């Protein structure tokens, strides 16, 4: 398995899109910290950007990559290799490549310019989001045979997590604004990894105070040890779920 993973990582690092992604992240990170005097504001800008770009980039690229690797998968399947091995190699390869791109592009500038808990948290969140959206991309790719359709499904997932989910929550809050729904909303946000990540990081910055009473409820939760642990656990669960689904789908898939 490690041999195939190694091959995939090498293959990915020859890919100019990943390099471009890394350079873009790096430019953006340095840019934010240099243009924005306040470290906290820069971090928030970076949070906005990375929560948008990281899931989008990973899911689109990973879906594409899965389809491009289709022949490779078939070739490997003709060898005495387990399906599990082949898929894990692809997943791991993508995780390593994107993870490294993120650590170099986002992590290093952030830790150089502003070494803080919030920075570490943002890096951790972005890493987990990377893994999650790679896994979702694999689900979309394995699920649909057609490349165009698969891309569509991936983009739909992305739009859902980045936009539609929040819209639905807003609608929910609007309709139940007379009730104390903060606690419920708190648990609903656990259903969206991007929201979990955003709030986790936000709570480490001064922006937390902006959020008023509901902020206080969230603050209590997301700054306590067990709250953070639960949030990260939720993110790990969010990684495990699509990974599990993709392996199930792949196990039964006709190639």
Minimum CB separation from another protein for residue 102, in Å?
19
CB 92 within 8 A of CB 6: no
Task: Choose, by CB under 8 A, the member of 107, 109, 141, 215 that binds another protein.
Answer: 215
For the purposes of burial, counting CB atoms within 10 Å of the CB of 148, is it exposed (0-12), middle (13-18) or buried (19 or more)?
A: exposed
The residue range among 99-107, 112-120, 122-130, 192-200 that interacts with another protein, by the rule CB under 8 A, is 192-200
Residue 147, interface with another protein (CB under 8 A)? no
Do 9 and 96 meet the contact criterion of CB atoms below 8 Å apart?
Answer: yes
Under the binding rule (CB under 8 A), the answer on residue 57 touching another protein is no
Site for another protein in 14-53 (CB under 8 A): 14-15, 37-38, 41, 44, 47-48, 51-52
Q: Which stretch binds another protein (CB under 8 A): 81-89, 92-100, 111-119, 233-241?
A: 81-89
* Burial call 197-206: b when 16+ CB within 10 Å, e when fewer: bbbbbbbbbe
Q: What percentage of the chain's residues is helix, strand, coil (to nearest 5)?
A: 85, 0, 15
Return the exposure string of 87-124: e unless at least 16 CB atoms fall within 10 Å of the residue's CB, then b.
Answer: bbbbbbbbbbbbbbbbbebbbbbbeebbeeebbebbbb
Closest to another protein by CB, 108 vs 113, is: 113
Query: Is the CA virtual torsion 247, 155, 18, 101 positive or negative?
Result: negative
Is 190 one of the binding residues for another protein (CB under 8 A)? no
The region of 17-25, 77-85, 111-119, 147-155 touching another protein under the rule CB under 8 A is: 77-85
| Binding residue for another protein, selected from 67, 72, 143, 160, defined by CB under 8 A | 72
Report CA torsion sign: 79, 85, 86, 92.
Answer: negative
226 binds another protein (CB under 8 A): no
Round to whole Å and give the CA distance between 65 and 111. 30
Smaller CB separation from another protein, 16 or 226: 16
Of the two residues 24 and 108, which places its CB atom closer to another protein in the complex?
A: 24
Residues lying near another protein in the complex (CB under 8 A): 3-4, 7, 11, 14-15, 37-38, 41, 44, 47-48, 51-52, 68-72, 74-83, 162-163, 166-167, 169-170, 173-174, 177, 181-182, 185-186, 189, 194-195, 198-199, 202, 206-207, 209-216, 218, 252-255
């Amino acid at each position: 398995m490690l041999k195939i993973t190694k091959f995939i990582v090498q293959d990915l690092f020859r890919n100019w899109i990943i390099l471009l992604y890394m350079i873009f992240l790096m430019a953006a990170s340095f840019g934010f910290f240099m243009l924005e005097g306040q470290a906290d504001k820069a971090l928030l800008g970076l949070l906005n950007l990375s929560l948008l770009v990281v899931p989008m980039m990973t899911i689109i690229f990973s879906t594409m990559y899965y389809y491009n690797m289709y022949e490779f998968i078939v070739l490997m399947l003709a060898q005495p290799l387990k399906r599990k091995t082949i898929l894990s190699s692809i997943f791991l390869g993508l995780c390593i490549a994107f993870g490294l791109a993120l650590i170099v592009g986002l992590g290093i500038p952030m830790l150089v310019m502003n070494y803080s808990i919030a920075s570490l948290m943002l890096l951790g969140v972005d890493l987990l989001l990377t893994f999650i959206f790679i896994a979702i991309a694999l689900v979309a790719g394995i699920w649909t045979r057609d490349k165009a359709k698969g891309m569509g499904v991936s983009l739909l997932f992305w739009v859902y997590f980045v936009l539609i989910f929040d819209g639905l929550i807003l609608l929910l809050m609007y309709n139940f604004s007379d009730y104390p729904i903060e606690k419920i909303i708190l648990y609903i946000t656990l259903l969206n990894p991007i929201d979990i990540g955003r709030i986790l990081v936000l709570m480490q910055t001064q922006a937390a105070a902006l959020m008023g009473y509901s902020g206080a409820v969230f603050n209590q939760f997301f700054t306590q040890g067990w709250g953070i642990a639960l949030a990260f656990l939720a993110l790990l669960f969010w990684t495990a779920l699509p990974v599990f689904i993709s392996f199930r789908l792949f196990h039964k898939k006709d190639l």
